[in-house]
Amino acid sequence: MEKFEVNILGCGSALPTTKHYPSSQVVNIREKLFMIDCGEGTQTQLRRSRLKFTRLNHIFISHLHGDHCFGLIGLLSTFGLLGRTATMHIYAPAELERLMQPQLDFFCKGMDYKVEFHSHDTRTPAVIYEDRSVTVSTLPLKHRIDCCGFLFREKPTPNHILRDMIDFYEVPTYAINRIKNGEDYVLPDGTVVPNGRLTRPSDPPRSYAYCSDTIYLPELAGLVHGVDLLYHEATFANSESARAKETFHTTAAQAARLAKDAEVKQLVIGHYSARYEDENILLQEAREVFPSTLAAKENLCIAL
């Protein structure tokens, strides 16, 4: 099975602590890296992860609060110092380009690579990136400013060839791609060999949903239904539910309720408030609702 991993670089919230870095993740799909959010210290965490800088070409920013984007200018500057030449693509609300361009012009003069901004509407689900392996769509969220999450869906792969059967029926090379894509094979005497005798099904495509800062949105369950892994912010415990509503954040139990309603396979919670020295209270409250819950932590790698 091809690689599909989620690497947690930071899982804290707005106030800095000595325990957690602000929000950032890297999704590794078949050794192609996609960054989600880029809080302060992200480039340091990227070094610690031992992921290869050169394979990161796409950065997705959920919203323009500092704990989700203050690390961008440092990361982009470092790429310039490393001699990067490949274009870096940044997907974010439209205001980011206006805010970032003066910083790039001042701090990153003479870089050998281009930074290309792609704006998207955070209010409507839409595919904003696609290649041969994956699509990335926005997930509308409700926060104090425009905000969205991101849904990564792996594309189905062709069936796997059964080499011994291909050899047995002496199937020519030119016919193999058609067989991979589901066609039967017709022998020279007209006998039809069913595709199921020549192939086995490919692995089912995997999916990952990232839900950044948001008030509890029950309707989100329909958009992330059945995903293999759901990351959802869980800033507060139940005792602070009024504060969560006031600041447009979610409690751990609410995140778990969404995961349960969406029938996801696994939930990982993060974006912890600095008030919690031990996030186990959040994990326990989530697991009471949805047992298959993990607590995010720096340098955690989750394989799908």
Would you state the pLDDT for residue 280?
96
C-alpha to C-alpha distance for 89 and 116, rounded to whole angstroms: 5
pLDDT given at position 54: 93
Name the 3-class secondary structure at 225: coil
Relative to beta strand 148-154, strand 134-140 is: antiparallel
Could you give the angle at which helices 72-81 and 42-49 cross, rounded to 10 degrees? 60
pLDDT of 105: 95
Q: What is the pTM of this model?
A: 0.93
pLDDT profile of the chain (304 residues), mean per 10 = 95 94 97 98 95 96 98 97 96 97 94 97 96 97 98 92 86 85 86 86 94 98 98 98 97 98 98 95 98 98 97
Q: Which residues of 48-68 are buried (b: 16+ CB within 10 A; e: fewer)?
A: ebebeeeebebbbbbbbbebb
> For residues 49 and 299, is the Cβ–Cβ distance under 8 A?
yes
Q: Take residue 30 and report the two structure tokens written for it.
A: 């078949």
Q: Among residues 67, 146, 213, 228, which one is catalytic?
A: 67
Q: Catalytic site residue 228?
A: no
**Range(s) within the chain of domains with CATH label 3.60.15.10:** 4-157+203-303
In this structure, are residues 220 and 258 in contact, taking their beta carbons and an 8 Å threshold?
A: yes
Can you tell me the distance from the alpha carbon of 217 to that of 53, in angstroms, rounded to the nearest whole number? 35
Residues 6+ apart with CB under 8 A from 175: 185
- Could you give the 3-state DSSP secondary structure of residue 190? coil
What is the third-level CATH fold of 4-157+203-303? Metallo-beta-lactamase; Chain A (3.60.15)
Whole-angstrom Cα distance, residue 301 to residue 304?
A: 10
